[in-house]
């Protein structure tokens, strides 16, 4: 009887609320084909998406991998050698963004 009473008491406790951002997740940003005019939009969409989901992007390598997955066209061609040669830039978000030249071509 005591066990049932404590079980009933625990069921009366309110459930913890999920994090606020969980209710309003951002949509996945659109792919970037590498056009120069698209870069500001691409960065404006990807930066907050990554920042709002730190559990999904805990490392620079996870952030860079996500960005590379959103590249197409010239941008994807630029990134392909980095992936194939296991470039150190794959583990360095700032370095990756600084050396990104797909939008200049």
In a domain? residue 4: no
In a domain? residue 23: no
Dihedral in degrees, nearest 10, Cα atoms 17, 18, 21, 23: -90
Q: Which residue has the higher pLDDT, 14 or 49?
A: 49
Number of structural domains in the chain: 1
- Assessment of whether the complete model's pTM goes beyond 0.75: no
When the pLDDT of each residue in the chain is averaged and rounded to a whole number, the result is 82
In a domain? residue 77: yes
In a domain? residue 24: no
Please report the pLDDT score of residue 102 as a whole number.
62
In a domain? residue 12: no
Please report the pLDDT score of residue 89 as a whole number.
96
In a domain? residue 64: yes
Residue 95 has pLDDT above 80, yes or no: yes
Residue 37's pLDDT band (cuts 50, 70, 90) = confident
Domain hosting 87: range is 29-104
In a domain? residue 18: no
In a domain? residue 1: no
């Amino acid at each position: 009887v005591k066990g049932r009473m404590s079980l009933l008491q625990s069921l009366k406790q309110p459930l913890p609320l999920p994090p606020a951002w969980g209710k309003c997740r951002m949509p996945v940003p659109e792919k970037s084909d590498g056009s120069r005019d698209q870069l500001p939009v691409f960065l404006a969409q990807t930066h907050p998406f990554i920042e709002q989901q730190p559990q999904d992007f805990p490392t620079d390598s996870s952030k860079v991998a996500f960005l590379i997955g959103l590249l197409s066209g010239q941008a994807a061609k630029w990134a392909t050698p980095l992936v194939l040669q296991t470039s150190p830039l794959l583990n360095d978000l700032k370095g990756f963004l600084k050396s990104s030249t797909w939008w200049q071509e």
